[in-house]
Structure 1
Amino acid sequence: MTTPLERVRVAAVDLGATSGRVMSCEVGRDRLELTEIHRFANGAHAGPDGLVWQIRKIHREVLQGVSELADHGRLDGIGIDSWAVDHGLLDAVGSLLHDPWSHRDSRTDGIAERISRQIGEDELYSITGLQQLPFNTVYQLIASRESEIWPQVDRMLLLPDLLGYWLTGVAVAERTNASTTQLYDAREGEWSQKLITALELPERLFPPLVDPGTRIGTVQAGPQVPTGLVGTPVLSVASHDTASAVVAVPAQGTDFAYISSGTWSLVGVELPAPVLTEQARRADFTNEAGLDDSIRFLRNVSGLWLLAQSLETWRRAGRGLPGLPGLLAQAALLPAWRTVIDVEDPRLIPPGDMPSRIMALAAEAGEPVPETPVEVVRTILDGLALAYRRNVCLAGDLSGTEIGVVHIVGGGSQNTLLCQLTADALGIPVLAGPAEAAALGNALVQARALGVELPDLAAMRDLVARTHPPQRYLPRPDTGIDAAAARLQLQLTPA
């Protein structure tokens, strides 16, 4: 039995699609303090054969941040979380064969349809319970099978597992992230041998599964590894960043929905078992593993990516704009729901000129076309709030959950206009924060594994609520939300 500890200090490495951070976190029974040690820009890079992640650069940045943390005191553990589905392919001696492709690369175009014809969407869902997204790991692997590197491929490692492998030399697959691949059996909690066989994928690709909180190994000496890190424990966490963020939702009871709002928005509820009904499949909801055998029943919804791409487009065009805070302040003064668009339209997934696409969608739907950057920003936020409303309601209906409050965590929790619009759209309270939920959840899982007395999710969430109290938003009356939702429904319903 692990001896209870009063306090630990861990490195929570939290990697997002636009930035990465190494956080120092001190965790005790009544203490949860997070300090940013190192932050770096991230983003997909246009390589000669598609969009890729510069994973070796990410690795160097992680080592730099963790080393800086270790230089300033005791370091009890390291845990890594990141976005899902993307992965590295290794050869038989463990060398990376190609920079990991980004899920936004077009190489998987059409592959989901091919696999659906071979296996059937209903069969895929009955096994994996996963939302049908064109960039799921299974489709990326099929695309890789048609590449020149495939004959050398021996093993697949999702990104946090790849970085953990480079630190420890131990190759594993953490369960919450593995559950996003569409190759994981949602009922059995194991790799789906049926799908692996049907798709003629070699079994050696798939490393052994481990639960969050497993001690993977210790940092090994190497040419890029600072000597002060050697011997530091590396622990698996809920390595899908959304799984870590859900750990740190400061909820009381079970009547809540969550929105993990970042580059993507993950909207759902927490359940004891997967929902694998035909209704859930048709609604495109996903069942992903969470901490302590929980299920994250959720839907991937577009997120702050739309704002980030719009800002980048205006920056490149040399538009003299006040920056995002100024744009948000001006957008708050505009009428609600003036322009209603479906922010989940797949045409908004790739990088590029997002404002032009949004204007085109508005024109196509017969909505007032947003002509200024402020109007585009307001259209995005109104659209996100409407998407949140639709998917929170669906999550409750499909799972039989009575939802009394919605928690928004992640970067979007700092967007006061988005939080207020979400409360208005849903007609129930919204509790916003913490913004760094993924890093906090990462650290909490490490702390429990190292011996801090945090027996279950309820204890972890109580600690978050006491140390990082959320901001409360109440719905405002007479916002015109029902008419706006009806306009959106007309766009979603085929003629």
Structure 2
Amino acid sequence: MNKYSIAVDIGASSGRLMLGHRENGQLQLSELYRFENQIVQKGNHFCWELDRLFDEIKTGLKKCRELGIQPDSIGIDTWAVDFVLLDENDQPLTEAVSYRDPRTDGMMEEVFELISKERLYLETGIQFQKFNTIYQLYSLKKNHPDILAKAKSFLMIPDYLNFLLTGKKSNEYTNATSTQLVNAFTKKWDYELLDILGINKDMFHEIQMPKTILGNLKEELVTELGFDMNVILPATHDTGSAVISVPEEESTIYISSGTWSLMGTENHFPICVTKALDYNFTNEGGIDYRFRFLKNIMGLWMIQEVKRNYNHEYSFARLVELAEEAGDFRAIVNVNDDRFLKPDNMIQEIMNYCIETGQSVPSTPGEVAKCVYDSLAASYKETIGEIESIFEKSFDKINVIGGGCQNEMLNQLVADVTNKEVLAGPIEATAIGNIVAQLMALGEITDLEEARSVIKQSFEVKKYEPIKSVANS
């Protein structure tokens, strides 16, 4: 009898529940339910609506009952760095503030006054981004010490949703590493670092690995849904789940393409060397204590905001068509500039950047979209150069996974700009990685090697060869 697992995959703009099972050796995947997610302003902060997201998860689970399916397990993955603090009664002390909130402005520099940048990197191996959890917590310590003093439990977003499902509190490894508070070598919370920062180490829970069976649903949920199931920890960091879907090949660089573009390689050890620090690469935890050596690139957030600024007049597919029609127009912006993190108007910010740097200024939707795609491709090429410099070798292939791999124009542009073969797929990499982690926990798949073999047999990958040479600037 087939075992059914549900992947709850929530990103910065949407979430979905995907149903997966093995049949005739292949992995079958179907969408149960999809819902929107967005940042909302609550008081002075930009926040996530976690109560609504949990209600959406329950709505999706009720679809199983309608379909007559008894799921065996569920696993949740989301974005990284954001968290919830619970008091002694397990009630949230604040709203779930988003990493795009400006409360961390200046906090990274203040932390460097307590612990050097070099030491922080050599111990944690994590990329410096102003919104990392460490700087969010330090902002609370500085501006709201009373809240931090009351905190008895620290849960990242998927940890909190798992707590709502089971009543059990834990911190999952892949997401915990994104906090910049986990030692890359001991793979445990860095208590010495927490002491230096004056952050209460007792609120952190024991770190659990992907494939851990956390427990069953709370009784009231079983009554509401009409069934029980195992709650299993996948790689709860969405990129951690996505990278499971990339074949382990030494010659391949991956790009997990969505709201963010996460670009790098998979390793069995952290690379905390000076050159990696200089290039600002991260060593985030992966399944089976592997490391995702990568760089965060702003990604398709920019085109999502462009679409919103045009009042959703153009679909993403239409914006690609318009970009292709823009012909030889070319302007490059630094997609990793903080000005693009959460501008009032993305289109105007792109135009301002081009004006300030003396470039052609995009004036049509097609030119704006082409500027975004050209800039992403240029950033990818630069990042590949940095990876090859760190490893002192060339990489032959780029494997683009996630929703962004459906953008054929960008895939071909990346192949042309980098002069490398681009493999696009699988599209549902995150949900697939989430599902196979659950199936490994349930004994349906033996190990990661078998999981990747099953994925390779089950899902299509499209190839793009370089056609023409494209300048980087």
**TM tier relative to shorter chain:** over 0.9
User: Post-superposition shift, 1:204?
Assistant: 1.5
Paired residue for 1:387? 379
Paired residue for 1:472? 463
Query: Which of residues 214, 223, 226 in structure 1 aligns to 2:224?
Result: 226
Paired residue for 1:350? 342
Paired residue for 2:283? 287
CA contact (8 A) 2:165 2:221 kept: no
Q: TM-score, normalised by structure 2?
A: 0.96
CA contact (8 A) 1:337 1:382 kept: no
Paired residue for 2:426? 434
Deviations 1:313-339 (A, max 9, x none): 1118xxxx4432122112113335711
Paired residue for 1:83? 79
**Is 1:174 equivalent to 2:161 in the alignment?**
no
SS of residue paired to 2:256: strand
Query: Which of residues 238, 241, 264 in structure 1 aligns to 2:238?
Result: 241
Paired residue for 1:19? 14
CA distance in 2, matches of 1:16, 1:372: 29
**Is 1:157 equivalent to 2:141 in the alignment?**
no
**Is 1:54 equivalent to 2:49 in the alignment?**
yes
CA distance in 2, matches of 1:396, 1:236: 33
Q: Equivalent residues in 2 for 1:325-404 (5 A)?
A: 325-335=317-327, 338-400=330-392, 402-404=394-396
Deviations 1:73-105 (A, max 9, x none): 121100000000001110112111222100000
Paired residue for 2:404? 412
Deviates most, 13-22 or 217-226: 217-226
Q: Equivalent residues in 2 for 1:199-278 (5 A)?
A: 199-222=197-220, 226-229=224-227, 231-249=228-246, 251=247, 253-278=249-274
Gaps of 5+ in 2: none
Deviations 1:392-411 (A, max 9, x none): 22123213454111110111
**CA spacing shift, 1:77–1:336, aligned 2, 3 Å:** farther
RMSD: 1.6
Paired residue for 2:95? 99
SS of residue paired to 2:16: strand
User: Displaced runs of 4+ in structure 1, greater than 4 A?
Assistant: none
CA contact (8 A) 2:399 2:425 kept: yes
CA contact (8 A) 1:7 1:452 kept: no
* Identical-residue share of aligned pairs (%): 34
User: Post-superposition shift, 1:352?
Assistant: 2.5
SS of residue paired to 1:184: coil
SS of residue paired to 1:226: helix
Deviations 1:179-237 (A, max 9, x none): 100000011111111111111111122111011000001101237962423x3110000
**CA spacing shift, 1:119–1:29, aligned 2, 3 Å:** farther
User: Post-superposition shift, 1:51?
Assistant: 0.4
Query: Which of residues 436, 441, 449 in structure 1 aligns to 2:441?
Result: 449
Q: TM-score, normalised by structure 1?
A: 0.92
CA distance in 1, matches of 2:406, 2:356: 32
User: Post-superposition shift, 1:117?
Assistant: 1.7
CA contact (8 A) 1:27 1:443 kept: no
What is the one-letter code of the residue matched to 1:279?
Answer: K
CA distance in 1, matches of 2:450, 2:379: 31
CA distance in 1, matches of 2:438, 2:361: 49
CA distance in 2, matches of 1:141, 1:224: 35
CA distance in 1, matches of 2:329, 2:399: 22
CA distance in 1, matches of 2:221, 2:453: 42
